[in-house]
Chain A
């Protein structure tokens, strides 16, 4: 449980970090909160000879809300997300979900950027960002580009981010209507057995907009396109909700692990999605 030797860099600007990444290529990795990276380094499951700590880069921090757009710096910690009263008022879904991540000690260090950029299907924030239809800002040697959260994840730990790019911030429009993030886990600090983020907007008893994404039920977060189609434009009665839940479960592809076999995870996915839809609807 001791990492191999590595060089430690602590740049104070994004350009500084990018130039280090460019210089050291495959041998370098950026570190944010470190909750995913440090354990694999300690087990020597990864060979990293240059660690680039983003902690001192002020441009990567902070939460701003203006003109209906929320922009969160990648190095904003989960604790800061929970603490922001403005965010809690504007997008209460963020606090609801963040409070279900691990425990306070983890959240003091864990960052939004690290959580979404790592591509770990067990992380909560990627699914949450797909629910919010967030956009990730990526900065690299060739400039800045944006990728939708719903397009970002390719497979477990494989994302649209290039090796020399840094995920710098996350933006999304302030959602309307009801919200919920539901998660079943074995204990505090655990990843989800199944989790779901839901947004629902209802007008005149008809679902106007909806969004559903699942966590840890496939090798990437699952945005439930079919379920959303079933909900939008319809009255959210029991048969419709059941149909949407079924569509979500069908979209999931969990694998068996110590949390349980596939049939259990799919069943619980259905229960959790239903709870999330019901809660969101009650708040819509």
Chain B
């Protein structure tokens, strides 16, 4: 009590709390190849299972003969739907209220669908077994175009529910129709549009793509028949939900199931769903009595596990002559593939697509979404975005451009004219959301200044003149994007998955010597939770981040939570962490008061200690308090220093950003070269600026991929034609441009530390920035809309159609 107290600043720096660009504690093992992924799990006597997959997109399965496969050396079992049926495991519920075949039950509905599961000594023998399984198929007509699914004579894909007039999300009008979801005021919107000065109308397609994480999906199931306990290691973005679902499906009591998500090599939404591989590895372990591993290869991953996007968005936007937007109308045709396995909160079958009014004060709006079955893989996950938010952002940011063309107005100016103003927050959107906070004009102005927008437009005009004079074949495109995300799902009152409320949790235990462990209901897939959540806690409880261990992903030890996707970890689990920290601090205050022999209210918090008001030499550090909590009998206070918080967020958070991309476009080769990417993000309170920058770089690179070439393409027979990384575009360092990042900081008013989440913003804002750049290059030649991805031939085709090759 008599040593000199280091200055406040020095003590804050030592904590490495909020705002510190602390290096990622995970990187030491990841960069040395010392991570522990599902495929690194090796158990004694472990078998390996893999799938016979359908070569056809739609076919009747006439027969499956497993005899020859069972004779292959090393093959232990071949599981088919017939084997699963007595266990009622041949179908499984999806996250969207539909059911999905675990193994082909009479027919197959997409190429790559799981038909039989071969269990063998190792993956070599399993593959030999797969080759020996004889499946007789009878090909059926295929639907790959959702607009043809309800035409007369269209084949009925889902015979199991052909007669069901009511689905999980309301009435079904056709056997291939899944749901129709509406948001907003139809009549008001239609009349506003009918009476408007100016209406722009366009079909905006956001093509089918795939999250394609570096690590594919997989699981290791181990059924201990002695103690009746099932342990499953797997690539699960939501381990607790998986446990509950596994218990409900299998009938195994929840306390006898332990789900472990070890290190995960990227998820991006691909690892939210429940896949037949997980179920089959569990069944195979029960059948064989040995642990069973299943790991996808890259082609399996691209063909069969969850895709993203595939939204056809027909839009109308109306405005006054001088560019004040009056209404927005959107009808979306959503291709969900063969089973509705979208990973959305239950009440939102089209996710948060109704954030499609974007950053703009649009008084009237109406949205409908039709979900349609086709002969493609199921999925529809949020690929590095909150549920369908990137589709919504792309839609509105394209519609703004289309409207600007119609108005003959600069689209930057059109945005400024219609942004929600700072003083309008909290802002009620026409489609029902309450935007928490924002300052769009400031961010936008900063972005335009940073790229010198006026000068860029001048340069672009000069280039066009040079092009007309025949001096160049390259055009300049300036891609603008101002996005508003909606993340942090979400309030239990309206957000649940399979009935499980989308709260999240944190449990903290302070050790006697003043270090700590915190466990969360989320699971990092590379986001750096062990680094950033320790920082939140460091600032809350005054223990250095280095002294706090973070644990996630083991359902036996971690508190219940709904996992990591949709940028929900910081808004929800981050809030739970702060709240649990505050409980620790409240108890610590009582202990300190006892030790210092003062009243609780006579103490004030000072970075890492409680100090007696007006007597700065009298204090107790968190370290001292921690020890006292374990060593002294304090009247009225339980021993130990632990806390748990389950946080139900009062609202979503609404990160936003202003992105600009400058691109050179070669009209002859269709090649593009990105000259500049400026990305300003506002994610509220910034926890670790270095990690934010890393997230922005990564998200922008995925956005670049999607906009410029990444596509899950099918031919008319339903064959996947981009099923390998030769054709499915993943940018390397060579294709990745330099990024220039910036920020503003508008805290969320309802989040305990004001943080909003950032991991997905760059994908949401990046795609329209890149796509708008391509469109912008050709704008003065008459282009209004051309669908992504903007790979070489499609860009060439734009130029060709506009007569630039004549």
Query: Which residues in A have some Cβ–Cβ distance to B below 8 Å?
Result: 1-2, 4-5, 44, 103, 184, 186-191, 193, 258-261, 263-264, 267-268, 271-272
Known A-B contacts A1-B297, A4-B128, A268-B669; A258 and B727 likewise in contact (beta carbons under 8 Å):
yes
Which of the residues A44, A188, A191, A259 comes within 8 Å of B734, measured between beta carbons?
A: A188
Complex CA gap A264/B671 in Å reads 12
Number of A-B residue pairs having CB atoms within 8 Å of each other in the complex: 67
Of B126, B713, B732, the contact of A103 (CB 8 Å cutoff): B732
Residue in B123, B299, B800 whose beta carbon sits within 8 Å of that of A2 in the complex: B123
* Given A187-B735, A258-B713, also A1-B299 (CB < 8 A): yes
Residues of B within 8 A of A263 (CB): 800
Q: Give chain A residues whose Cβ lies under 8 Å from the Cβ of B299.
A: 1
In the bound complex, residues from chain A placing their C-beta under 8 Å from that of B298 are 1
Q: With A1-B297, A187-B709 in contact, is A268–B732 under 8 Å at CB?
A: no
Hey, which chain A residues are within 8 Å of B123, CB to CB? 2
The prevalent SS among residues of B at the interface is loop
Would you call B329 an interface residue if the criterion is a C-beta within 8 Å of the partner chain's C-beta atoms? no
Please give the distance in Å from A15's CB to the nearest CB on chain B. 33
* B734 closest partner in A (C-beta): A188
A102 to B542, CA, bound (A): 52
Chain B residues near A103 (CB-CB < 8 A): 732
Chain B neighbourhood of A261, CB < 8 A: 793
Contact of A271 (CB < 8 Å), options: B297, B668, B727, B797: B668
A154 to B729, CA, bound (A): 32
- For the complex of A and B, 7 pairs with smallest distance between CB atoms: A260-B793, A2-B127, A1-B297, A188-B734, A264-B793, A271-B668, A258-B727
Check A187 against B127 for contact (C-beta < 8 Å): no
Contact in complex: B127, A188 (CB < 8 Å)? no
Residues of A within 8 A of B128 (CB): 2, 4-5
* Cβ-based interface call for B721 (8 A): yes
Residue interface mask B34-54, A partner, CB < 8 A = 1: 000000000000000000000
A186 touches B713 (CB 8 A): no
Can you list 26 contacts pairing A with B, beta carbon distance less than 8 Å?
A1-B297, A1-B298, A2-B123, A2-B124, A4-B128, A4-B131, A5-B128, A44-B131, A187-B732, A188-B735, A189-B726, A191-B726, A193-B792, A258-B721, A258-B722, A260-B796, A264-B670, A264-B792, A264-B793, A267-B800, A267-B805, A268-B668, A268-B670, A268-B792, A271-B668, A272-B669
Does B709 lie within 8 Å of A186, measured CB to CB?
A: yes
- Report Cα–Cα, A188/B725, bound state, in Å: 11
Query: Residue among B298, B709, B726 with the most chain A CB within 10 A?
Result: B726
**Chain A residues with Cβ under 8 A from B526's Cβ?**
none
Q: A186-B791, A187-B709, A187-B735 are in contact. Are A264 and B727 (CB under 8 A)?
A: no
Nearest CB of A to B73, in Å = 10
Cα distance A61–B448 when bound, in Å?
58
Nearest chain A CB to B22 CB, angstrom units: 33
A99 and B729 alpha carbons, distance in the complex (Å):
21
State A197–B131 Cα separation when bound (angstroms): 43
Q: Chain A contacts of B127 at CB under 8 A?
A: 1-2
Q: Which of B709, B731, B796 contacts A268 (CB 8 A)?
A: B796
Q: Provided the pairs A4-B131, A187-B731, A187-B734 are in contact, do residues A264 and B796 lie with their beta carbons within 8 angstroms?
A: yes
Task: Please classify how large the interface on chain B is, using the bins under 10, 10 to 19, 20 to 34, 35 or more.
Answer: 20 to 34
Docked pose: A280 CA to B721 CA in angstroms = 37
Given A1-B299, A2-B123, A44-B131: A184 and B729 interface contact (C-beta under 8 Å): no
- Given A268-B796, A271-B669, A188 contacting B732 (CB threshold 8 A): yes
Given A2-B123, A186-B709, A259-B793, are A267 and B668 neighbors across the interface (CB < 8 Å)?
A: yes
A264: which B residues are within 8 A, CB to CB?
670, 792-793, 796-797, 800
CB-contact partner of A267 in B709, B734, B796, under 8 A: B796
A187 touches B729 (CB 8 A): yes
What residues on A are CB-neighbors of B732 within 8 Å?
Answer: 103, 187-189
> For A193, what are the chain B residues with a Cβ–Cβ distance below 8 Å?
792-793
B704 to chain A, nearest CB (A): 11
Residues of B within 8 A of A268 (CB): 668-670, 792, 796
Residue of A2, A191, A260, A271 ringed by the most chain B CB atoms within 10 A: A2
Give a binary string over B731-757; 1 marks a CB under 8 Å from any A CB, 0 the rest. Answer: 110110000000000000000000000
Complex contact B792–A184 (CB within 8 A): yes
Residue from B124, B128, B793 whose CB has the most chain A CB atoms within 10 Å: B793
Chain A residue contacts of B727, Cβ below 8 A: 258
Q: How far does the alpha carbon of A4 sit from the alpha carbon of B796 in the complex, in Å? A: 43
Chain B residues within an 8 Å CB radius of A259: 792-793
Q: Mark B368-389, 1 if CB is under 8 A from A, else 0.
A: 0000000000000000000000
Q: How far is the CB of A150 from chain B (nearest CB, A)?
A: 28
Mark each residue of chain B from 760 to 795: 1 if its CB lies under 8 Å from any CB of chain A, else 0. 000000000000000000000000000000011100
A120 to B467, CA, bound (A): 39
The residues of A that contact B126 with a CB separation of less than 8 Å are: 2
- Measured between beta carbons, the chain A residues less than 8 angstroms from B721 are 258
Beyond A187-B732, A188-B732, A264-B797, 19 additional contacts (C-beta under 8 Å) are: A1-B298, A2-B126, A2-B128, A186-B709, A186-B729, A187-B729, A187-B735, A188-B734, A258-B727, A259-B792, A260-B670, A260-B791, A260-B792, A267-B668, A267-B796, A268-B668, A268-B792, A268-B796, A271-B669
CA–CA, A267 and B793, complex, Å: 10
Question: What residue of chain B has the Cβ atom nearest to residue A2's Cβ?
Answer: B127
B671: chain A residues at CB < 8 Å are 184
> Which residues from B are CB-within-8-Å of A267?
668, 796, 800, 805
Which residues of chain A are within 8 angstroms of B668 by Cβ–Cβ distance?
Answer: 267-268, 271
Residue of A nearest to B300 (CB): A1
How many Å from the CB of B280 to the closest CB on chain A? 18
Q: Give the docked Cα–Cα distance between A263 and B796 (Å).
A: 10
For B666, the closest partner residue in chain A by CB is A271
A264 nearest CB across to chain B (Å)? 4
Identify which of residues 119-133 in chain B touch chain A, using a CB-to-CB cut-off of 8 Å. Answer: 123-124, 126-128, 131
Interface contact B792-A190, CB-CB below 8 Å: no
Complex contacts, A190 vs chain B, CB 8 Å = 726
Closest to B127 in A: A2
A242 to chain B, nearest CB (A): 14
**Bound state CA distance, A5 and B73, in angstroms?**
12
- Residues from chain A with a CB closer than 8 A to the CB of B709 are 186-187
Q: B735: nearest residue on chain A (CB-CB)?
A: A187
| Residue among B131, B792, B805 making CB contact with A186, cutoff 8 Å | B792
Q: How far is the CA of A189 from the CA of B727 in the complex (A)?
A: 10
Question: Which residues on the B side are within 8 Å of A191 (C-beta)?
Answer: 726
Residue in B131, B732, B792 whose Cβ sees the most chain A Cβ within 10 Å: B792
User: From residue B305, how far is it (CB to closest CB) to chain A in Å?
Assistant: 15
Separation in Å of the B334 CB from the closest CB of chain A? 24
When C-beta atoms are compared, the residue in chain A nearest to B124 turns out to be A2
Q: Mark B707-723, 1 if CB is under 8 A from A, else 0.
A: 00100010000000110
Closest CB in chain A relative to B186 CB, distance in Å: 40
- Distance between B221 CB and nearest chain A CB, rounded to angstroms: 21
Q: Chain A nearest CB: distance from B301 CB in Å?
A: 11
Q: Which residues of B contact A1 (CB under 8 A)?
A: 127, 297-299
The residue in A1, A4, A5, A259 that gathers the most chain B C-beta atoms within 10 A of its C-beta is A1
In the complex, chain B residues whose CB is within 8 Å of the CB of A186: 709, 729, 791-792
Question: How near does chain A come to B444, taking the closest CB pair, in angstroms?
Answer: 33
Least CB distance, B246 to chain A, in whole angstroms: 28
Please name the residue on chain A nearest to B122 by beta carbon: A2
A183 CB, min distance to chain B CBs, angstroms:
11
Least Cβ distance of A7 to chain B in Å?
15
Q: A2-B127, A261-B793, A267-B805 are in contact. Are A184 and B669 (CB under 8 A)?
A: yes
Q: How far is the CA of A103 from the CA of B734 in the complex (A)?
A: 10
In Å, the complex CA distance between A260 and B797 comes to 10
Instruction: Give the CA-CA distance A263 to B791 in the complex, in Å.
Output: 15
CB B146 to nearest CB in A, in angstroms, measures 21
Q: Which chain A residues border B670 with CB–CB below 8 Å?
A: 260, 264, 268
CB neighbors of A among B130-162 (8 A):
131
Bound together, the chains give a CA A114 to CA B722 distance in angstroms of 26
What separation, in Å, do the CA atoms of A189 and B742 have in the docked complex?
33
